A = this chain, B = another copy of it.
Amino acid sequence: MRTLILAGLLLGTAVSAQQMSATSNAQPMGEAEKAAMLDAQVSADEQMGWLKTMTAGPNHLGSPHNQANAARIEKLFREWGWQVKRADYQVLYPTPISTVLELVGPVTKTLGGQEPGIPEDATSNNLAGALPPYVAYQGDGDVTAPVVYVNYGLPGDYEALARRGISVKGKIVIARYGGGWRGLKPKLAQEQGAIGCLIYSDPQQDGYGSADSYPNGGGRPPAGVQRGSVLDMITYPGDPLTPGVGATRDARRLTRETAPTVLKIPTLPISYADATEILSRLKGAPVPNEWRGGLPFHYRFGGSDDVKVHLAVKSDWTPKMISNVIATLPGSAMKDEWVVRGNHYDGWVFGAADPLSGEIAMLSEAKGLGALWKAGWRPKRSIVYASWDGEEPGLLGSTEWVEENLAELKQKAVIYINTDGNGRGFLGVDGSQQFQSLAGRVAAEVKDPQTGASVADRWRAGVRAKAFDGLRGDQQALAAAELGGDQPLGPLGSGSDYTAFIHHAGVPSLNLGFGGEGESAGSYHSIYDSYDHFVRWDDPGLAYGAALAKVAGRMVLRLADADVLPLRFGPLAGAARSYLSEIRTLIDTRRREDDKRAGLSAEIYRLGSDPRDPLGPPLAKPPTPQIELAALDNAITRLEAAARAFDGAISANGAALTDSQKAALNARLKGIDQALLSPSGLPFRPWFRNILYAPGRFTGYGAKTLPGLREAVEERRFDDANREAGIAARALNDYADRLNAATAVIR
């Protein structure tokens, strides 16, 4: 039958589970056969149907349509042969009772409120039960005050304000989206003494600066608003009342008042139409050039008493229930090694691009794996597919599940593979670099829907073509593309459900998706993130939804069935080396700057500035000393050698390993990434424990690498820098030791 089936595949015929079941007693299927079986179940048309159904109503945490979606997901998995359980948690999740925003000077004008529907977008006219624009976990409050424009509202912006003698104490700040994570803006504002915070979507970022305004293009329309969470996830994500433990019904809880991740000042996100009413009236000195956005007026700092805003927010803080849908195919040979794959299913309003375009790709994979299962295939390792609830407010579902099952995951999970939406264009993969080679091989096997080339070739061509168009590009990626190598995996920060896995539990993780040609930025977290928007501007026909299922499904198949996990450590060691090089450059640059800064005086700034916008001297800071990096450098050298030895030995002897060698190798590689966890966690935020990557304290989503060391240098905590360098050195030495022990098995 094998020949027949293969002929069917070659002819593009769908292969039914019935046909395959005939082979279930034959020798195990090869990789190509399994992949073909998976692909045969992936249907873009079917994804269109799922997307349409799941985006038909508001699907935020706790909404009826979201609960119905969970039931749909559960039902599908069960139909496809998976074992399904729910993992429910009780979380603190505020929803707005009332939001008030009005300009009270120099004129009175009501601002804010729900976004308007448009005729071309069906669900935008059906908003019953939809959340109005707000940000979750701000503080309740009712304030009236003058307004100060603070650019992105990040630390450098407050330094620029301080040098001009502008304070936000007692004021309401207005920040534009971008530059760093949303939640940092009200957090830093309240630390600076502001009593309220507005965040607006500047059109330069995701409005007409990026695309025609929806519905003429995918760009954010004038009245579009970006909802989101402002939970202080840099301290810890998940339910704010149960840090470090699962938010089960009887877990010990903090109170809302004592939870450090809940902010204190009222905050609202607003549209650029509303922002224009405020910003265009501000007085004061003009802002620096790089503070200007795309609105058609001259941006100024504001702060004077004549432009005032009234901002009031009141939320319902009663506990809410969330429900993850956890589906499993149990492993045969290595049941206690888990390949975990996930995507969240809750959105902010209709959630078409974010998250359902990823969830439906995951459903296609699950259907394909289910078909294989029904055909008699049994994965060697256990496969766990998780559909997370409550990602949007604070990675609630995934974090609580990881916290509840922490010990088991640290022991059993060999990888977590995340998606969180998808679009047209180029494959992007970030995460644990020991899986870079696997990602590269899978990308070489899947065809790009638009060009017919492989996804890997298209990525390489894209990097090279863009580099020649003068677009900014990563030099390492360009070098890899020029050499025909694998796409280098960037470090993971935060912003999706891999966070608890990689940063808290030490489970190596990947995050992937296609993008770069869609226009979903303009609908992000608004009522316009709809089926109509998605199929018109983001991934028409869901061709890339199908491609994503093929890529992620192949990864899961390979990982679940490999006798020995397809790990290659050269890219990981190389990444560690480049992170240290960057930090050395940072220290050198800082030292040169500090030297020059020492020669600057208030008098130079008085003479050198435009008197209309006087600058004081740069804030005094302790000069950067040399940091003791020798131990860390030596540890990375050891890791590089260990990686070369392992990768070389696998390449030479991998095909000829005995079963007992394979078992010994698996045993020694299992949990190797636990070596990367710092025993004490990172400074200021012990929940984050990975010494190689973390979301930046002052970037939020963006990753910092060797974060304990790097952030200590950046923030001039030089004692911390020396200590964190030592912690990282011990971790990497431990990693090299474990790797050498594994290599010993096969050499």
The yes or no answer to A723 lying at the interface (CB within 8 A) is no
The yes or no answer to A212 lying at the interface (CB within 8 A) is yes
User: Hey, which chain B residues are within 8 Å of A290, CB to CB?
Assistant: 470
The yes or no answer to A87 lying at the interface (CB within 8 A) is no
Q: Could you list some 29 contacts between A and B, CB below 8 A?
A: A208-B296, A208-B298, A209-B292, A211-B298, A212-B298, A217-B298, A219-B298, A294-B296, A295-B296, A425-B610, A451-B606, A451-B607, A451-B611, A453-B607, A461-B607, A462-B607, A462-B609, A465-B600, A465-B605, A465-B607, A465-B608, A466-B608, A468-B597, A468-B600, A469-B615, A482-B596, A516-B610, A517-B611, A517-B612
User: Hey, which chain B residues are within 8 Å of A609, CB to CB?
Assistant: 462, 465
Chain A residues 170 to 207 lying within 8 A of chain B, measured CB to CB, are 203
List the B residue with the shortest CB-CB distance to A516. Answer: B610
User: Hey, which chain B residues are within 8 Å of A461, CB to CB?
Assistant: 603-608
B608→A517 contact, CB < 8 A: no
Bound CA–CA A463/B597 (angstroms): 13
A464→B600 contact, CB < 8 A: yes
- Given contact pairs A212-B298, A465-B605, a sample of 17 additional A-B residue pairs in the complex whose CB atoms are under 8 Å apart: A203-B296, A208-B296, A217-B298, A219-B298, A289-B471, A290-B470, A294-B294, A448-B607, A457-B607, A461-B607, A464-B604, A464-B608, A465-B607, A465-B609, A468-B597, A482-B596, A482-B599
A607→B292 contact, CB < 8 A: no
User: Hey, which chain B residues are within 8 Å of A615, CB to CB?
Assistant: 465, 469
Min C-beta distance of A363 to chain B, whole Å: 27
Min C-beta distance of A463 to chain B, whole Å: 7
Q: Given A292-B209, A599-B482, A610-B425, are A468 and B618 also a contact pair (CB < 8 Å)? A: yes
One digit per residue, 1 when the CB lies within 8 angstroms of any chain B CB and 0 when it does not, for chain A 240-275 equals 000000000000000000000000000000000000
User: Hey, which chain B residues are within 8 Å of A108, CB to CB?
Assistant: none
User: Hey, which chain B residues are within 8 Å of A288, CB to CB?
Assistant: 469
Bound CA–CA A600/B506 (angstroms): 41
User: Hey, which chain B residues are within 8 Å of A453, CB to CB?
Assistant: 607
Q: For chain A, which range describes its interface: under 10, 10 to 19, 20 to 34, or 35 or more residues? A: 35 or more
The yes or no answer to A380 lying at the interface (CB within 8 A) is no
User: Hey, which chain B residues are within 8 Å of A469, CB to CB?
Assistant: 288, 615
Min C-beta distance of A403 to chain B, whole Å: 42
One digit per residue, 1 when the CB lies within 8 angstroms of any chain B CB and 0 when it does not, for chain A 443-454 equals 000001011010
Q: Given A296-B294, A597-B468, A600-B464, are A458 and B208 also a contact pair (CB < 8 Å)? A: no
Q: Which of A290, A425, A464, A470 has the most CB of B within 10 A?
A: A464
Bound CA–CA A450/B608 (angstroms): 11
The yes or no answer to A485 lying at the interface (CB within 8 A) is no
Min C-beta distance of A739 to chain B, whole Å: 35
One digit per residue, 1 when the CB lies within 8 angstroms of any chain B CB and 0 when it does not, for chain A 288-318 equals 1110101111100000000000000000000
The yes or no answer to A117 lying at the interface (CB within 8 A) is no
Min C-beta distance of A461 to chain B, whole Å: 3
User: Hey, which chain B residues are within 8 Å of A96, CB to CB?
Assistant: none
Bound CA–CA A211/B610 (angstroms): 14
Q: Which of A296, A451, A605 has the most CB of B within 10 A?
A: A296
List the B residue with the shortest CB-CB distance to A478. Answer: B596
Min C-beta distance of A620 to chain B, whole Å: 13
Q: Which of A298, A450, A516 has the most CB of B within 10 A?
A: A298
Bound CA–CA A482/B598 (angstroms): 12
Of the candidates B209, B212, B286, the one whose C-beta lies within 8 Å of that of A211 is: B286
Min C-beta distance of A82 to chain B, whole Å: 37
Bound CA–CA A213/B288 (angstroms): 17
Chain A residues 200 to 242 lying within 8 A of chain B, measured CB to CB, are 203, 208-213, 217, 219
Bound CA–CA A599/B478 (angstroms): 13
User: Hey, which chain B residues are within 8 Å of A297, CB to CB?
Assistant: 208, 212
Min C-beta distance of A496 to chain B, whole Å: 25
User: Hey, which chain B residues are within 8 Å of A468, CB to CB?
Assistant: 596-597, 600, 618
Bound CA–CA A531/B425 (angstroms): 55
A517→B610 contact, CB < 8 A: yes
Min C-beta distance of A655 to chain B, whole Å: 33
User: Hey, which chain B residues are within 8 Å of A217, CB to CB?
Assistant: 298
Q: Which of A295, A600, A610, A612 has the most CB of B within 10 A?
A: A610
Of the candidates B295, B450, B612, the one whose C-beta lies within 8 Å of that of A611 is: B450
Of the candidates B470, B599, B607, the one whose C-beta lies within 8 Å of that of A458 is: B607
Bound CA–CA A607/B481 (angstroms): 13
Bound CA–CA A284/B288 (angstroms): 34
Bound CA–CA A465/B463 (angstroms): 38
Bound CA–CA A482/B592 (angstroms): 14
List the B residue with the shortest CB-CB distance to A450. Answer: B611
Min C-beta distance of A543 to chain B, whole Å: 12
Chain A residues 570 to 615 lying within 8 A of chain B, measured CB to CB, are 596-597, 599-600, 603-612, 615
Bound CA–CA A298/B203 (angstroms): 10
Chain A residues 499 to 548 lying within 8 A of chain B, measured CB to CB, are 516-517
List the B residue with the shortest CB-CB distance to A618. Answer: B468
User: Hey, which chain B residues are within 8 Å of A470, CB to CB?
Assistant: 290
Q: Given A288-B469, A468-B600, are A608 and B462 also a contact pair (CB < 8 Å)? A: yes
List the B residue with the shortest CB-CB distance to A609. Answer: B465
- Going nearest first, the 3 A-B pairs with the smallest beta carbon separation are A465-B608, A461-B607, A461-B608
Q: Which of A203, A457, A607 has the most CB of B within 10 A?
A: A607
List the B residue with the shortest CB-CB distance to A208. Answer: B298
User: Hey, which chain B residues are within 8 Å of A607, CB to CB?
Assistant: 448, 451, 453, 457-458, 461-462, 465
User: Hey, which chain B residues are within 8 Å of A603, CB to CB?
Assistant: 461
Min C-beta distance of A601 to chain B, whole Å: 9
Bound CA–CA A289/B597 (angstroms): 34
Min C-beta distance of A316 to chain B, whole Å: 38
User: Hey, which chain B residues are within 8 Å of A517, CB to CB?
Assistant: 610-612
User: Hey, which chain B residues are within 8 Å of A210, CB to CB?
Assistant: 298
List the B residue with the shortest CB-CB distance to A467. Answer: B596
Bound CA–CA A461/B298 (angstroms): 27
Bound CA–CA A213/B604 (angstroms): 31
B212→A608 contact, CB < 8 A: no
Bound CA–CA A461/B209 (angstroms): 36
User: Hey, which chain B residues are within 8 Å of A451, CB to CB?
Assistant: 606-607, 611
Min C-beta distance of A444 to chain B, whole Å: 14
Min C-beta distance of A424 to chain B, whole Å: 8
Min C-beta distance of A457 to chain B, whole Å: 6
One digit per residue, 1 when the CB lies within 8 angstroms of any chain B CB and 0 when it does not, for chain A 603-639 equals 1111111111001001000000000000000000000
Min C-beta distance of A596 to chain B, whole Å: 7
Bound CA–CA A471/B291 (angstroms): 12
User: Hey, which chain B residues are within 8 Å of A597, CB to CB?
Assistant: 468
